[in-house]
Amino acid sequence: MIEFHLDPHSGVAPYLQIVQQVKRALRLGLLQVGDQLPTVREVIAQITINPNTVFKAYRELEREGLVHSRPGAGTFVRRTLATTSPTTQAELQESLRRWLGSAFAAGLDGESALALFLSTVQEFQQGAGQEEQKQEEPV
């Protein structure tokens, strides 16, 4: 069972924070197919939140095909987002750690390393998007 938390200063809508936390748990393999999400009552007890917000988050996850709700039983994981095996993930994390080591050695702090990482991800994805477009263009 996962536990939610709510950051009131993040600027992210509360329902979206729940959606993102479920997706994160799905990516990291903390939630597996068949696992039950906390009931709305349990979420209220955890983070004192409007029930409509929890319903909305769960509906969104259901719309994306990640969970399904069985009336009277609860909401269950239908599909996971883990793209690689836990072993591959651990290997990737290890190489990221090595990269961080050299970044810190070069004088970067956590925030600038994160900024560099995020901008590289963005650039990489844009590059990938352009590649795809090129391929789709008629020759």
In the set 1, 28, 33, 45, which binds other proteins (CB under 8 A)? 45
Rounded to whole angstroms, the Cα distance separating 12 from 9 reads: 8
In the set 14, 37, 61, 80, which binds other proteins (CB under 8 A)? 14
Considering the rule CB under 8 A, would residue 65 count as an interface residue with other proteins?
A: no
Nearer to other proteins, 70 or 97 (CB): 70
Nearer to other proteins, 50 or 130 (CB): 50
Considering the rule CB under 8 A, would residue 53 count as an interface residue with other proteins?
A: yes
Question: What is each CA distance from 124 to 19, 78, 97, 129, in whole angstroms?
Answer: 25, 30, 20, 9
In the set 5, 8, 34, 137, which binds other proteins (CB under 8 A)? 8
Rounded to whole angstroms, the Cα distance separating 16 from 27 reads: 16
Q: % helix / strand / coil in the chain, to the nearest 5?
A: 60, 5, 35
Q: To 10 degrees, what angle do helices 40-47 and 51-63 make?
A: 120
Interface positions with other proteins (CB under 8 A)? 6, 8-9, 11, 13-15, 40-41, 44-45, 47-53, 55, 58-59, 69, 71
